[in-house]
Amino acid sequence: MAYPTRSKPLADELRRKITSGELTGRLPSMLSLSEEHGMAVSTVQRAVQALRREGLVRTLKGSGVYVERTSPTMATCPVQGCGGSMEQHGYGWRCTRCGATAPGPSTA
Ligand SMILES: [Zn+2]
């Protein structure tokens, strides 16, 4: 790990998108992420590895990286200024404070 901190901003950004529900299903490819953020593919891979260790994403061999939600609660409500926490509701999520709903984890 020559530059252990370079992957951190990307890991932080992806983590925020995942916990806010903005990013679901399949992650963009390592190559497109590296081009989008102007960083080496190996740096993107380190960021994704960090998220995998946290249980936020899962790598399916030959298929890609998918957002994984192992926690029964989503971090925070996607509604700006609400700050409530999301709980599982049927096939999706519902805010315990404002009642906003979000689609559940993709089964694709
Ligand atoms: Zn809410």
State pLDDT tens for residues 61-89: 888 899 986 554 556 788 888 988 887 77
Of residues 14, 2, 86, 82, the one with CA closest to residue 42: 2
- Residue ranges of the domains in the chain? 1-70, 71-108
Which of these CATH numbers, 3.30.1360.120, 1.10.357.10, 1.10.10.10, 3.10.20.740, describes 1-70? 1.10.10.10
Dig out the tokens for 11 from the structure.
Answer: 């890991």
| Ligand 1 centre distance from Cα of residue 108 (Å) | 26
| Ligand 1 centre distance from Cα of residue 92 (Å) | 14
Lowest mean pLDDT among 13-22, 28-37, 86-95: 86-95
| Ligand 1 centre distance from Cα of residue 95 (Å) | 5
* DSSP annotation of 11: H
